[in-house]
Amino acid sequence: MTEHAGQTGSHEDMTYEGANLGKSDPVLRTEDLRKTFGGLVATDGVSVEVERGSITGMIGPNGAGKSTLFNLISGFYDLDGGRVWVNDTEVTEKEPHETAQSGLIRTFQTPRRLEGMTVREAMLVGAKGQTGESILPLWLSPSKVTREERANVERAERLLERFEIAHLIDQPSTDLSGGQLKLVELARAFTADPDVMLLDEPVAGVNPTLANDIKRFIRELNEEGQTFLIIEHDMPFIMDLADPVIVLDQGKVLMEGTPDEVRSDQRVIDAYLGGAGP
């Protein structure tokens, strides 16, 4: 049985039902997260759970607070209130690298440029980057270098193969197309072997062919047990991939349901019509 975290709020008479809580094995849990920017309440008491093994979608009109929520969960923004757990470890107010070490990795809506690095180098920094570990000890202890480095290189190569970009390994990252960079960013995020992966608009600005490839990669990883929480504006993409889907509106959870439940909910339709549009 799941219960609803009752929330009431603005948007005329909209009932903010809240997310489904009380899941059996949540890998990620938030409780009453709050964030304001000046007078603006960007996150207004968000409690959500992501069940291990799921692809959980997150949708909502522009400015609903989706990216802010990711920033709060992953430790990139300071909280004004609330708590976060990853794998039952409380990560409230932890630094991003500590949250990553607890098993949560996130990607950014706009991929960061990887100046001066080849894809191979970017992947190896990725293996250590978000978790905050230093690669320096590897250089200082030569016997360890060979073993650990080889393992990292092999893992990086496997990930590049999985994302079908193994042929790019020696390319300077500045030579990559936008689509290729997107795939490198995805592959790189997985080098930390996260328990839950948060993707912020993975197919924004991506052509339909690549979007389909990305959908297939996500599905394959999920079939092998990878858990995802995915923000996406592309409705057909997210409705095809995710279940359940959580709807954010004006910093609050409007509802959570199956893609069909969400699609046919009048409040969701109203939120998109009343907001900045999908």
* Interface ranges with Mg ion (CB under 5 A): 66-67
Task: Mention every residue, 6+ apart, whose C-beta is less than 8 A from residue 146.
Answer: none
Residue whose CB is nearest to Mg ion in the complex, by number: 67
Q: At a CB cut-off of 8 Å and minimum separation 6, what does 46 contact?
A: 19, 30, 32, 33, 34, 65, 69, 82, 248, 251, 252, 253
- CB nearer to Mg ion: pick between 15 and 62: 62
Is-cis flag, bond preceding 244, omega within 30? yes
Count how many Cα atoms sit within 13 Å of the Cα of residue 251 in the half-sphere of its side chain: 16
> In whole angstroms, how close is the CB of 161 to ligand ADP at the nearest point?
32
Residue 189's φ and ψ, nearest 5 degrees, are -60, -30
Q: Do 225 and 197 contact (CB within 8 A), yes or no?
A: no
Considering the complex, state which of residue 5 and residue 64 has its C-beta at the smaller distance from ligand ADP: 64
Assess 238 for contact with ligand ADP (CB under 6 A): no
Site string for ligand ADP, 35-64 (x = CB under 6 A): --x--x-x-----------------x-xxx
**Of 7, 30, 56, 68, which lies in the binding site for ligand ADP, with binding defined by CB under 6 A?**
68
- The yes or no reply on residue 67 touching ligand ADP (CB under 6 A) is yes
CB nearer to Mg ion: pick between 35 and 66: 66
By CB under 6 A, is residue 107 in contact with ligand ADP?
Answer: no
CB of 277 to ligand ADP, least distance (A): 11
Measured from the Cβ of residue 260, the count of other Cβ atoms closer than 10 Å reads 11
Q: What is the DSSP letter of 202?
A: T
> In the complex, what is the shortest distance from the CB of residue 229 to Mg ion, in angstroms, rounded to a whole number?
13
**Separation between Cα atoms, residue 237 and residue 242, nearest integer Å:** 9
Nearer to Mg ion, 105 or 119 (CB): 105
Site stretch for ligand ADP (CB under 6 A), options 65-73, 94-102, 178-186, 215-223: 65-73
